């Protein structure tokens, strides 16, 4: 090979290598670029996906069914917390424990005291451990069922069911069979029992243990026959878990409310017409967790909830109201089961339809019809992740339910919701509370209003200042001054918001509290100073200190300082003249609002300060890029400088100014640290400038560290993140489009 | 006057007024922070205040103000009432650092030469009159003058001891602890892998346990060493008379420095301030972040920003190259460009939420399940850490880099590219050799702006791994040196935490102002350098015409 050939070959390989690398670079840049774009757009997709499960209902599927009646006809069933072992109380007064998976009987208990008795009805209390059996010949038996859970060496769970007979006694002295019952045990262990007998007598029984300082107290039994108070045919009964309210529903659509908090003195307080004279009867009643709401089921399948609320206009001080209605069944409601974990409940009807509802959101989570048999009894599993349903003819079905976010609907996020203990439907955000019975309240409205309120005050402060400043700098000031000032303001846009928030919260807020009247006074004093300044400039040129036209702002600064000092100096005087000596008392007297130290005005100042540089810079750019020949033409025609700027420059640049304001708005909406530090962060719905608020963004920062992964709060916070994302994205896009239009327009002028 | 309104000159002045207020606010903010922060450095005089009812206080007068008239009883409304806020320190004696004294209560205010401030490791400062220095119960220095001139060698000796103690307890003990922790997690892992039958792995476990035993004995050695140093150091103690005349004994080991502000000369004051600044920059925080320095926060901020740049810069540049050089310019690219632009305006907390949901819970949770199942549910990666925080901020700053790079690429004249291609180079060669070098200053500007934004951002960090007090730095001498799963401290969060969640906000305020000043300084310096670079870039291209 000659040298030339070698060279050619070398060149060829070099060429090939170059082409090869060119290809690699091309593909990797394509891949990288597209990946970054996908990643960026993926953010929204991810947030939406995380938030979405909020709006879905519950999942349910039948896990086991027992059709064989070899163990006797069940009257009542229940289940342990792991949903492994169900008990059945049969009509022959035996308690059968059945392993659901294998459908084997693992334990059968027959009490000698109850031999040859027939169980006509049975009911369990809300803890699901205490059970009352209604027997023939007017007898009642009280049982206790419990499950022992232990673990063997290999960490396998062993569940041992226990059942014991507490007592049995004759309730109806006329020895008639008990046909229907309601039973609750309060937290001190005092039982209360209501029963209907075959001849439609309504009996109320309670046992009360007097707790005295000296050990065991005396046990008193109370027994009442309430049939003489109520004349109509009672069909259903309910007692709350504290044993203070007793409700009885009749076949005409009325519910009778008894106050049984005084054990020796049950009083009928009120007859409620819960079905509006529809001639339908009440077929099921139940209190749900928290004892505030009574669920009423009627013979035509309607379901509603009733609440006792305080009412100042009535003589008793309270009234019952219908707070919620739920999706109806097509046949009579025969069973209602409240959850022990939250405010959800299951209803069953005589055509075999089962529905899962949630109280405050009125959300229907699940609706199934597995068997076309009348539902006799439903019970939630202790963890509320399943239910056991007893149909007519003794068919028992175990349902596994997964209902992760029952309390949230689009309506509950954005609408007024009637929570328990509230007099009317309201917008409330309250994510955590002290007790187990606390219901989290997720209304985004107070937060959205808070966001808008903060943005409004910030813009109120920032837009005039930024706009005026930009107008001055672009049209009236000397170019040298302009080149110096603009970078300073630009630099300020990069100021960390935590700095501004810190100063607002710890320095400005206490200061403003002291000199607020002075700040109000500035609204008058400062314009006066400006007019004085311009007069001095104009008529006493000697006072100009050698400043040329276009440098007025430097003349202005000491004047503004002077104005501010005068205002603050006069603050106490102003306060005593206008506000009678104390601004805060005056505010409370005249407008009935309190003055919070960290309030909307403080945030307005601080957040305004944070957005001024942005609005200022973009405005200035828009104003100074208005073609020079336009203003020159105007000036040549004899218009003054001011006329030119207001009639020619400002209208031409108005789309740019609009987009500047929009971008500033976008920043204010999403600002987190300033509002976190400069407001009290109370999620209240108030429009007063002297109160604090909580914004969507600050709410996320405050609450998300405490929100369990994939819990309801976590997802609701993702919803607010989606809102923030969309809001700012739309605002920014509009601004960007307007700006691009403007750019095109300038090209044509 | 009419003329003024007619020609609109008044209105011009109103626009000038807008600018004046804006400028005033900017300068006011900076001056305020600087003034308030320098309080922390400046050794103000100690005033001895004796009151009418015979009480004595010693402290710096922090503020003098008149009580708002509305808060006064009617009898005093006419005259008004002034009050002093005295920083009396001595938290262990009085409970509070500050004391308000009303003007009529004051009988006399004097400035004693021998009043001293004693900075302590615990319980904040102590104001008093040093009396004598004792060693093993024997007086070695007595009297004001002897003490002032003679105490410094002892203090520096004690400082050496303290540094040695710190080194032992931090790096030596820390190393052993880290190793033990690693070995324990090894045991957990082995146990988990052999969870069916633990007996199989018993030998291995015993082996590791022996190793742990060995380390523990090393540990005992070091604690012994620590104890003996402490014993030597605790022989010294300083006796100080309080304003009331009680004598108080302070362990010299607990003393950082003693100074007499009432007789300091200007040069001494300057020296004092410099030593305070030094302490602020290099020391660890003390007393739940209200004293000492902010070194871990500076370190955390810098490391987070660097990590963030490692991710956001390459990806940002590649995306910009794609958009500007490779992709076909059309409506799709324009749409993407608008989207990228707008992404810079999305609230940072939204990125934080994304980081929490995606990086921490999804990615981190998956890593934990795959590689660390033995210690679940205790998370390793499934919790906030510096890596996740940096990645979150990288997402936040990628748009900044993209926009700046695109601008830089767009400003390179077409002719340069065409010349390169005409000479036969491939596209990649053109990009690598011609376009990127020319655009480098512009890209750098974007990087600096992104860093400045990252350094000042707090909200997304709060939910992705910043803590008020991190026990360890994310970078130390223990293998593998970088501990990206660790939580870290950050200057911005430090401001929020100390200013708003500290139990003793008033005492901590000067510290917060200083931190604020430092943060502003970092951000502003970064921005100024970006601006200067941009200006130079513009000049370069003005001359390069084709």
The string of pLDDT tens digits covering residues A270-321 is 888 888 777 788 888 888 888 888 999 988 888 999 988 888 887 888 888 8
Are A32 and B322 inside 8 Å of each other by CB? Answer: yes
Measure CB to CB from residue B8 to each of A30, A640, A724 and give the nearest one: A640
Alpha-carbon distance A582 to nearest alpha carbon in chain B (angstroms): 6
Span B154-170, average pLDDT: 82
pLDDT value, residue A215: 58
Q: Which residues of B touch A28 (CB under 8 A)?
A: 318
Alpha-carbon distance B366 to nearest alpha carbon in chain A (angstroms): 14
Q: Which residues of B touch A22 (CB under 8 A)?
A: 426-429
CA distances from A297 to A274, A284, A375, A387, A443 (A): 10, 5, 13, 19, 28
Q: Which residues of A touch B338 (CB under 8 A)?
A: 733, 736-737
Instruction: Encode A238-250 in three state secondary structure.
Output: EECCCCCEEEEEE
Would you call B248 exposed, middle or buried from its count of C-beta atoms within 10 A (0-12, 13-18, 19+)? middle
Give B475's DSSP letter: B
Alpha-carbon distance B184 to nearest alpha carbon in chain A (angstroms): 23
Using the Cβ of A11 and the Cβ atoms of chain B, whether some distance falls under 8 Å is answered with no
Are A736 and B455 inside 8 Å of each other by CB? Answer: no
Measure CB to CB from residue A581 to each of B4, B17, B70 and give the nearest one: B70
Is pLDDT above 90 for A140?
Answer: no
pLDDT digits (tens, 9 = 90+) for B448-468: 888 888 888 899 999 888 888
Residue A731 lies in a domain: no
- Select from A408, A439, A427, A413 the least CA-distant residue to A339: A439
Residues A262 and A340 in one domain: yes
Q: What is the dihedral of CA B176, B177, B182, B185, to 10 degrees?
A: 140
Residue A183 lies in a domain: yes
Measure CB to CB from residue A43 to each of B395, B496, B528 and give the nearest one: B395
Residue A438 lies in a domain: no
Residue with token string 């009418």: B52
Residues 6+ apart with CB under 8 A from A315: none
Span A238-251, average pLDDT: 87
Using the Cβ of A49 and the Cβ atoms of chain B, whether some distance falls under 8 Å is answered with no
| Chain B residue nearest residue A14, CA to CA | B425
Residue A81's domain comprises: 59-430
Count of CB atoms within 10 A of residue A372's CB?
9
Are A666 and B531 inside 8 Å of each other by CB? Answer: no
Are B17 and A468 inside 8 Å of each other by CB? Answer: yes
Residue B441 CA neighbour count, 13 Å, CB half: 16
Residues A32 and A131 in one domain: no
Rounded percentage of chain A residues whose pLDDT exceeds 90: 7
Measure CB to CB from residue A724 to each of B327, B347, B512 and give the nearest one: B347
Are A495 and B9 inside 8 Å of each other by CB? Answer: no
Q: Say how many domains are in chain A.
A: 3
pLDDT value, residue B545: 44
Are A33 and B322 inside 8 Å of each other by CB? Answer: yes
Where does the pLDDT of residue A109 fall: very low under 50, low under 70, confident under 90, or very high at 90 and above? confident
Residues A349 and A208 in one domain: yes
Instruction: Choose the mutation target among B381, B459, B521 for the interface with A, i.e. most A CBs under 10 Å.
Output: B459
Alpha-carbon distance A747 to nearest alpha carbon in chain B (angstroms): 19
Where does the pLDDT of residue A719 fall: very low under 50, low under 70, confident under 90, or very high at 90 and above? very high
For residues A433 and A441, give the distance between their C-alpha atoms in angstroms, rounded to a whole number.
Answer: 10
Residues A47 and A93 in one domain: no
Alpha-carbon distance B413 to nearest alpha carbon in chain A (angstroms): 21
Q: What is the DSSP string of B476-490?
A: -SSTTSB-TTS-B--
Is pLDDT above 80 for B191?
Answer: no
Span B343-361, average pLDDT: 89
| Chain A residue nearest residue B8, CA to CA | A642
Span A395-423, average pLDDT: 85
- Select from A313, A318, A600, A557 the least CA-distant residue to A455: A600
Max Cα distance, chain B (Å)? 102
pLDDT digits (tens, 9 = 90+) for B53-112: 888 888 888 777 777 666 666 666 666 778 888 888 787 777 777 888 888 888 888 888
What residues of chain A, 608 to 627, have a C-beta less than 8 Å from chain B? 609, 612, 616
Residue A716 lies in a domain: no
Are B9 and A492 inside 8 Å of each other by CB? Answer: no
Tell which phi-psi region holds residue A4, choosing left (phi > 0), alpha (psi between -120 and 50) or beta. Answer: alpha
Are B338 and A22 inside 8 Å of each other by CB? Answer: no
Instruction: Choose the mutation target among A499, A676, A719 for the interface with B, i.e. most B CBs under 10 Å.
Output: A499
Domain ranges of chain B: 47-122, 134-276, 295-489
Would you call A315 exposed, middle or buried from its count of C-beta atoms within 10 A (0-12, 13-18, 19+)? exposed
- The answer, yes or no, to whether the previous bond of A614 is cis (omega within 30 of 0) is no
Which two three-digit tokens encode residue B356?
């929490």
- Select from B242, B259, B401, B228 the least CA-distant residue to B318: B401
Q: What is the CATH number of the domain that holds A619?
A: 1.10.3720
Please list the residues that pair with A95 across neighbouring strands.
A89, A109
Residues A475 and A577 in one domain: yes
| Chain B residue nearest residue A718, CA to CA | B353
pTM score above 0.90: no
Are A47 and B319 inside 8 Å of each other by CB? Answer: no
Q: Which residues of B touch A576 (CB under 8 A)?
A: 69
| Chain B residue nearest residue A716, CA to CA | B353
Span B236-258, average pLDDT: 82
- Select from A288, A486, A139 the least CA-distant residue to B23: A486
Residues A414 and A455 in one domain: no
The distance from CA B364 to its chain's CA centroid, rounded to whole angstroms, is 27
Q: What is the CATH number of the domain that holds A369?
A: 2.130.10.10
Q: Which residues of B touch A616 (CB under 8 A)?
A: 22
Count of CB atoms within 10 A of residue B480's CB?
6
For residues A501 and B2, give the distance between their C-alpha atoms in angstroms, rounded to a whole number.
Answer: 44
Span A669-691, average pLDDT: 85
| Residue A121 DSSP SS3 | strand
Please list the residues that pair with A401 across neighbouring strands.
A60
Residues A415 and A544 in one domain: no
Measure CB to CB from residue A499 to each of B20, B339, B516 and give the nearest one: B516
Are B10 and A534 inside 8 Å of each other by CB? Answer: yes
Residue with token string 């939250």: A342
Looking at 1.10.220.10, 1.10.3720.10, 3.40.50.2000, 3.40.50.620, the CATH number of the domain B295-489 comes to: 1.10.3720.10
Measure CB to CB from residue B345 to each of A496, A732, A737 and give the nearest one: A732
Residues A107 and A87 in one domain: yes
Report the interhelical angle of B491-501 vs B295-321 (nearest 10°).
130
Span A77-86, average pLDDT: 87
Are B342 and A488 inside 8 Å of each other by CB? Answer: no
Long-range pairs for B169-177: beta carbons < 8 A, 24 or more residues apart = B169/B226, B171/B477, B172/B222, B173/B219, B173/B222, B173/B223, B174/B472, B174/B476, B174/B478, B175/B477, B175/B478, B176/B215, B176/B218, B176/B219, B176/B222
What residues of chain A, 337 to 396, have a C-beta less than 8 Å from chain B? none
Residue A129 lies in a domain: yes
Are A485 and B19 inside 8 Å of each other by CB? Answer: yes
Instruction: Choose the mutation target among B1, B328, B343, B357 for the interface with A, i.e. most A CBs under 10 Å.
Output: B357
Residues 6+ apart with CB under 8 A from B257: B118, B119, B155, B275
Indicate the average pLDDT of chain A: 84
For residues A590 and B154, give the distance between their C-alpha atoms in angstroms, rounded to a whole number.
Answer: 66
Candidate ranges B45-54, B162-171, B397-406; pick with highest mean pLDDT: B397-406
Which two three-digit tokens encode residue A737?
């489009």
Q: Range with the lowest mean pLDDT among A242-256, A262-276, A376-390, A727-741? A: A262-276
| Chain A residue nearest residue B19, CA to CA | A469
Rounded percentage of chain B residues whose pLDDT exceeds 90: 6
Strands A219-225 and A234-239: unpaired
Q: Measured between alpha carbons, how far apart are the two ends of chain B, in Å?
A: 56
Residue B115: what are its φ and ψ, rounded to 5°? -75, 135
A70 or A38: whose pLDDT is higher?
Answer: A38
- Select from A308, A305, A343 the least CA-distant residue to A324: A305
| Chain B residue nearest residue A49, CA to CA | B357
Is pLDDT above 80 for A433?
Answer: no
Which two three-digit tokens encode residue A111?
């009490």
Q: Which residues of A touch B24 (CB under 8 A)?
A: 557, 560-561
- Select from A258, A348, A246 the least CA-distant residue to A297: A348
Is pLDDT above 60 for B533?
Answer: yes
Residues A410 and A496 in one domain: no
Measure CB to CB from residue B22 to each of A24, A39, A465 and give the nearest one: A465
Are A505 and B321 inside 8 Å of each other by CB? Answer: no
Is pLDDT above 50 for B331?
Answer: yes
> Looking at A55, A71, A95, which one is the last position of a domain?
A55
Where does the pLDDT of residue B23 fall: very low under 50, low under 70, confident under 90, or very high at 90 and above? confident
CB pairs under 8 A between A and B: 314
Measure CB to CB from residue B347 to each of A28, A576, A728 and give the nearest one: A728
Is pLDDT above 60 for A552?
Answer: yes
Is pLDDT above 90 for A55?
Answer: no
Are B531 and A491 inside 8 Å of each other by CB? Answer: yes
Is pLDDT above 60 for A170?
Answer: yes
Residues A628 and A539 in one domain: yes
A570-581 burial, b if ≥16 CB within 10 A, otherwise e? Answer: bbbebbeeebee
Residues A321 and A465 in one domain: no
The distance from CA A583 to its chain's CA centroid, rounded to whole angstroms, is 36
pLDDT digits (tens, 9 = 90+) for A205-231: 888 777 665 656 677 888 888 887 787
């Amino acid at each position: 090979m000659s040298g030339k050939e070698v060279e050619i070959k070398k060149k060829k390989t070099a060429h090939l290598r170059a082409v090869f690398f060119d290809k690699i670079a091309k593909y990797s840049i394509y891949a990288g670029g597209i990946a970054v774009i996908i990643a960026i757009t993926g953010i929204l997709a991810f947030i939406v996906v995380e938030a979405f499960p909020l709006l879905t209902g519950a999942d349910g599927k039948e896990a086991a069914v027992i059709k064989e009646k070899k163990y006797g006809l069940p009257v009542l069933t229940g289940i342990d917390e792991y949903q492994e072992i169900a008990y059945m109380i049969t009509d022959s007064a035996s308690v059968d424990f059945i392993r659901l998976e294998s459908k084997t009987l693992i334990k059968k208990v027959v009490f000698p005291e109850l031999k040859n008795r027939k169980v006509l009805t049975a009911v369990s209390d809300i803890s699901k451990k205490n059970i009352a059996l209604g027997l023939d010949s007017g007898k009642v038996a009280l049982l206790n069922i419990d499950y022992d859970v232990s673990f063997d060496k290999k960490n396998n769970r062993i569940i041992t069911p226990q059942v014991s007979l507490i007592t049995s006694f004759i309730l109806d002295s006329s020895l008639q069979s008990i046909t229907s019952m309601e039973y609750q045990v309060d937290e001190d262990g005092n039982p209360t029992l209501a029963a209907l007998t075959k001849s439609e007598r309504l009996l109320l029984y309670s046992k009360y243990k007097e707790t005295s300082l000296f050990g065991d107290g005396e046990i008193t039994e109370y027994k009442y026959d309430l049939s003489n108070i109520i004349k109509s045919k009672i069909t259903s009964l309910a007692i709350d878990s504290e044993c203070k309210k007793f409700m009885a529903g009749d076949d005409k659509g009325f519910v009778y409310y008894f106050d049984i908090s005084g054990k020796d003195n049950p009083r009928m307080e009120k007859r409620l017409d819960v079905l509006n004279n529809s001639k339908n009867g009440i077929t099921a009643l139940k209190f749900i967790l928290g004892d505030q709401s009574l669920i009423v089921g009627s013979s035509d399948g309607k379901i509603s909830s009733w609440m006792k609320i305080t009412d100042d206009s009535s003589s008793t001080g309270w009234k019952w109201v219908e707070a919620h209605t739920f999706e109806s069944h097509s046949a009579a409601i025969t069973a209602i089961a409240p959850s022990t974990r939250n405010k959800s409940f299951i209803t069953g009807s005589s055509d075999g339809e089962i529905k899962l509802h949630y109280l405050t959101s009125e959300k229907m989570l699940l609706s199934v019809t597995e068997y076309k048999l009348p539902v006799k009894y439903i019970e939630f599993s202790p963890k509320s992740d399943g239910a056991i349903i007893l149909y007519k003819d003794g068919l028992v079905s175990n349902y596994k339910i997964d209902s992760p976010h029952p309390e949230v609907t689009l309506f509950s996020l954005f609408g007024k919701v009637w929570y328990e203990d509230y007099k009317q439907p309201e917008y409330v955000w309250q994510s955590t509370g002290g007790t187990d019975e606390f219901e989290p309240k997720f209304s985004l409205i107070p937060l959205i209003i808070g966001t808008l309120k903060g943005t409004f005050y910030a813009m109120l402060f920032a837009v005039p200042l930024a706009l005026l400043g930009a107008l001055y700098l672009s049209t009236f000031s000397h170019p040298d001054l302009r080149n110096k000032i603009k970078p300073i303001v630009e630099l300020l846009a990069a100021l960390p918001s935590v700095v501004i928030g810190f100063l607002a919260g710890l320095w400005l807020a206490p200061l403003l509290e002291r000199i607020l009247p002075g700040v109000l006074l500035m609204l008058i004093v400062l314009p006066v100073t400006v007019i004085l300044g311009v007069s001095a400039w104009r008529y006493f040129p000697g006072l100009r200190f050698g400043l040329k036209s276009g440098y007025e702002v430097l003349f202005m600064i000491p004047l503004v300082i002077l104005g501010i000092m005068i205002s603050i100096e006069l603050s106490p005087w102003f306060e005593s003249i206008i506000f009678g000596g104390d601004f805060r008392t005056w505010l409370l007297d005249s407008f009935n609002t309190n003055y919070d130290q960290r309030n909307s005005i403080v945030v307005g100042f601080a957040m305004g300060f944070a957005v001024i540089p942005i609005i200022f810079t973009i405005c200035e750019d828009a104003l100074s890029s208005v073609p020079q020949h336009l203003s020159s033409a105007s000036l040549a025609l004899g218009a003054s400088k001011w006329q030119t700027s207001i009639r020619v420059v400002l209208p031409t640049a108005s789309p740019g100014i609009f987009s500047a304001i929009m971008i500033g708005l976008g920043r204010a909406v999403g600002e987190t640290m300033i509002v976190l530090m400069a407001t009290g962060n109370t999620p209240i719905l108030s429009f007063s400038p002297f109160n604090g608020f909580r914004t969507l963004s600050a709410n996320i920062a405050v609450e998300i560290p405490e929100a369990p992964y994939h819990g309801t709060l976590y997802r609701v916070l993702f919803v607010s993140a989606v809102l923030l994302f969309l809001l700012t994205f739309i605002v920014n896009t509009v601004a960007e489009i307007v700006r691009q239009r403007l750019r095109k327009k300038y090209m044509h002028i | 006057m009419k003329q003024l309104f007619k020609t609109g000159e008044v209105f011009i002045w109103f626009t000038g007024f807008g600018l004046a207020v804006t400028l005033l606010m900017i300068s006011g903010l900076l001056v305020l922070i600087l003034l308030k922060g320098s309080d922390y450095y400046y050794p103000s005089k100690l005033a001895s205040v004796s009151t009418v009812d015979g009480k004595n206080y010693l402290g710096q007068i922090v503020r003098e103000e008149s009580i708002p008239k509305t808060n006064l009883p009617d009898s005093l409304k006419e005259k008004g009432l002034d009050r002093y806020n005295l920083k009396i320190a001595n938290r262990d004696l009085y409970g509070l650092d500050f004391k308000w004294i009303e003007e009529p209560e004051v009988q006399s205010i004097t400035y004693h030469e021998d009043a001293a401030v004693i900075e302590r490791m615990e319980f904040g400062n102590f104001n008093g009159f040093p009396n004598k220095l004792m060693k093993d119960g024997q007086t070695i220095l007595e009297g004001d003058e002897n003490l002032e001139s003679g105490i410094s060698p002892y203090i520096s000796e004690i400082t050496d001891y303290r540094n040695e103690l710190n080194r032992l307890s931090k790096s030596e003990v820390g190393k052993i602890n880290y190793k033990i922790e690693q070995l324990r997690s090894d045991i957990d892992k082995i146990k988990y892998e052999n969870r069916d039958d633990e007996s199989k792995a018993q030998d291995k476990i015993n082996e590791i346990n022996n190793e742990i035993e060995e380390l523990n004995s090393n540990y005992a050695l070091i604690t012994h060493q620590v104890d003996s140093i402490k014993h030597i150091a605790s022989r010294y103690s300083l006796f100080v008379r309080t304003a009331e005349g009680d004598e108080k004994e302070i362990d010299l080991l607990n003393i950082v420095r003693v100074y007499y502000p009432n007789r300091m000369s200007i040069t001494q004051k300057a020296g004092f301030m410099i030593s305070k600044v030094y302490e602020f920059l290099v020391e660890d925080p003390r007393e739940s972040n209200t004293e000492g320095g902010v070194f871990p926060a500076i370190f955390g901020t810098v490391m987070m920003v660097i990590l963030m740049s490692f991710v956001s810069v390459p990806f940002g540049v590649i995306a910009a190259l794609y958009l500007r050089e490779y992709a076909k310019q059309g409506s799709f690219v324009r749409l993407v460009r608008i989207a990228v632009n707008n992404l810079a305006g999305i609230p940072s907390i939204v990125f934080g939420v994304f980081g929490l949901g995606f990086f921490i819970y999804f990615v981190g949770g998956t890593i934990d399940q795959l590689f660390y199942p033995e210690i679940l549910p205790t998370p390793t990666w499934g919790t906030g850490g510096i890596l996740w925080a940096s990645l979150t901020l990288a997402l936040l700053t990628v748009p900044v880099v993209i926009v700046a790079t695109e601008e830089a690429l767009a400003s390179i004249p077409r002719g340069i590219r065409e010349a390169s291609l005409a000479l036969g180079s491939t596209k990649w060669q053109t990009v690598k050799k011609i376009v990127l070098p020319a655009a480098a200053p512009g890209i750098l500007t974007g990087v600096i702006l992104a860093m400045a934004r990252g350094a000042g951002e707090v909200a997304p960090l709060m939910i992705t791994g910043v803590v008020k007090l991190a026990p360890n730095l994310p970078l130390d001498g223990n293998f593998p040196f970088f501990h990206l799963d660790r939580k870290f401290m950050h200057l911005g969060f430090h401001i929020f935490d100390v200013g708003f969640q500290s139990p003793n906000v008033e005492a901590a305020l000067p510290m917060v102002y200083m931190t604020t000043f430092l943060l502003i300084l970092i951000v502003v310096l970064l921005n100024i350098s970006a601006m200067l670079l941009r200006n130079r870039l513009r000049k370069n291209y003005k001359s390069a015409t084709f």
